[in-house]
Structures are given as structure tokens and as C-alpha cells.
Structure 1
Amino acid sequence: QVRAYGPGLQGGVVGKPAPFAIDTKGAGTGGLGLTVEGPCEAKIECQDNGDGSCSVSYLPTEPGEYAINILFADQHIPGSPFKAVVQSVFDPSKVTASGPGLERGKVNEAGSFTVDCSKAGEAELTIELISDSGSKAEVHVQNNSDGTYSITYIPQFHGMYTITIKYGGHAVPKFPARLQV
């Protein structure tokens, strides 16, 4: 007899409350139990609407899969535990890159540039330098822990290279770019 519905049962995004509702109308008396298990302790807020339903939201602070257990009179309600996938919010279009290593490079000399992801949210930064002949340059990514990354690379061959910068698997603005070594 107890139903739960709402977007929060499917998932949500990090740092935003994920809402859903539980309807116990016609289920008789029984205690309602609610837990959210996942990569982090999610704060749960529950509001009794006074009509046999309650509005619930939880606040996930880390991405990953969460299990939402809803029990009525010590029994899982239909569909419980619900599997909710929480994604990190990131915006690859807010990533910028700058530095001398983006303009020119020299064979066997370290080139460097900075990638600023501080306004883009949390995601994985991936960088590739590939020459037109197909050889990859070795790339070192140093996390400066302030949302910026220091990138150094050492090209082995002269010629044209393509620099690809991706954030969370998505290309960032102005990339791929071309580099003369």
C-alpha cells in the first residue's frame, strides 16, 4: 500500500537536494523507516504533509550510487531499496588553458601550460598530445589542489601536434588545438 515516487529515487546531482515523496495513505499504522546509503553520509530531511504522505529530500555530497531504503512497519516497500545514481556537476565549457607550451614546443624540451578547472566543477582532466605521425608525447599533470593543473610535456619529434584537453570526457573550448614543435 505504501508508494514512493519522485526524481530523487532515480538520482540527482552533487550538492543539490534530491527530492521524493512517500505516500502511506491507506496503509494503516506502522512506523516509517528511511535510510540512504552511499559513498557519503547524505543528510535526509523529511516533512510530514499531514495527509498520510511525506516529502523527503537527501543531500548527496559525493557522486556514485546510493541505495534508498524505505521501510514501513519494518518491511521494505515495493521497489525498495531504490538505486539512485548521483552525478557530479561539471561544465567543460568553463575550463580554460593558457601558457607558452600551447603556442610552441621544442623537441626533447619540456613545454608547459596551465589548465584552470576551478569554475568547472569536479571531473577528470585528460590531456593528450599526438603528433601527425601518430606518436604520443609524454604528458605530466600536476594537481595544484586549487582547481588548476600544471601540465608539462616532452615532445620526441618535430612537426605538428594535436593537443586534446577533455574534462569529464568532454572536449573543452578551443580544443583540440594544433601545436608546432
Structure 2
Amino acid sequence: TEDPSGRVSIVPLKIVDPERFEVSFPLVEAGLYKVHIKCNSVILPKSPYIIVAISGHDLKDDEKRLELPNFKSDVSKVAHRGLGLTQIILNEKNEFTIDGSQAGNNILFVGIFGPKGQCDEVVIKHLGKNVYKVTYQVQDPGDYLLAAKWGDEHIPGSPFALSTL
């Protein structure tokens, strides 16, 4: 969902039956809310859905700030492997693995920046035990910068400088 102030949040879907689902989230301020829905990384037709909130209350400044929990982890123990960290093949899925199993718990952040800005879609799939498969696809030739963070810190080797083949 995207609220009137532009803040984006991910909300879980509740499956009602095979053809219907339900989503709920608080409407904390008046304005337009956008609900973007994807199925297997494909945006559904007519998405985003627009919800108009007539009234609400403004969030106080201290309510607007969201801070990460303080995880106990060691970023130096995060390992990575895969061709997607050394080269980019245009118009194909590029992938790599991030292994944080020895690093302790934290949140993985991945971003890719290229000649025309941010990569349209980066998919991070948790495989279990803090091991993640990351896939992305780019259409524009050129040089890219891939940043991977374990919490607030870059993993070893990040940011990665990549070029398209």
C-alpha cells in the first residue's frame, strides 16, 4: 500500500477462497491510498486500486519515524555467490545467493542502480536459515551499481560494480 504521504508498506493478504482475498490496513490520514497487488511478481490488471479516505488524523513527527530493531549480527560473516554479482546479462534473469546463516539475524536490503535509475524489480526470496536467492532483470546496457546491506552495513564486497554483457 502507498499512503497519501507517499509512505509504502507491505501488508499480508488473507485468502478467503480460491478466487478472493482480503487485505486490511489502517487509514491514518485523509487522502488517496494506492493498493498495488502482484501475483508471482506480475502486477494484476487494474492495479493499483485506489481507496479514498475522507477523514483521518495526521501522524505526529515521532510517529512517522520507523527504526530498525537492534539485531545482534556480524556482517563480516555474510557470504555471497553467483554470477549476478559479477556480470549482468541483458533481458534475462540474473541471480545470486546471500548466505547470512553464520551472521546472526538481520534484514537484507538489495538495490540496483543503472544508467536510467533504479532497477524496476529486484526479488529477494528467503530460502530458510537466513539464506536468500536474489533475482533481477535489466533492459538497458551500461554500468550498474548493486548494493547489498545486512541491516545498516554493507555485506563484504558491496557495493558491487557491474556491467552488462
Matched, 1:125 2:108: yes
In structure 2, the gaps of 5 or more residues are 1-68
Structure 2: distance between partners of 1:137 and 1:105: 15
How far has the Cα of 1:153 moved from its partner? 0.5
Within a 5 Å distance, the mapping from 1:60-71 to structure 2 comes to none
How far has the Cα of 1:154 moved from its partner? 0.6
Within a 5 Å distance, the mapping from 1:88-127 to structure 2 comes to 88-127=71-110
Query: Do 2:110 and 2:122's aligned partners in 1 also have CA atoms closer than 8 Å?
Result: yes
Percent identical: 31
Q: Deviations over 1:77-136 (max 9, x none)?
A: xxxxxxxxx832111111121101112112211001000100111111000111144232
Q: Out of 155, 162, 165, which is 2:138 matched to? A: 155
| Structure with greater strand percent | 1
1:144 aligned counterpart, secondary structure: strand
**TM-score normalised over the length of structure 2:** 0.54
Higher alpha-carbon deviation: 121-130 or 101-110: 101-110
**TM-score normalised over the length of structure 1:** 0.50
How far has the Cα of 1:137 moved from its partner? 4.2
Correspondence for 2:35: none
Bigger radius of gyration, 1 or 2?
A: 1
Structure 1 segments, 4+ long, off by >3 Å, are none
Aligned residues: 96
Higher alpha-carbon deviation: 168-177 or 87-96: 87-96
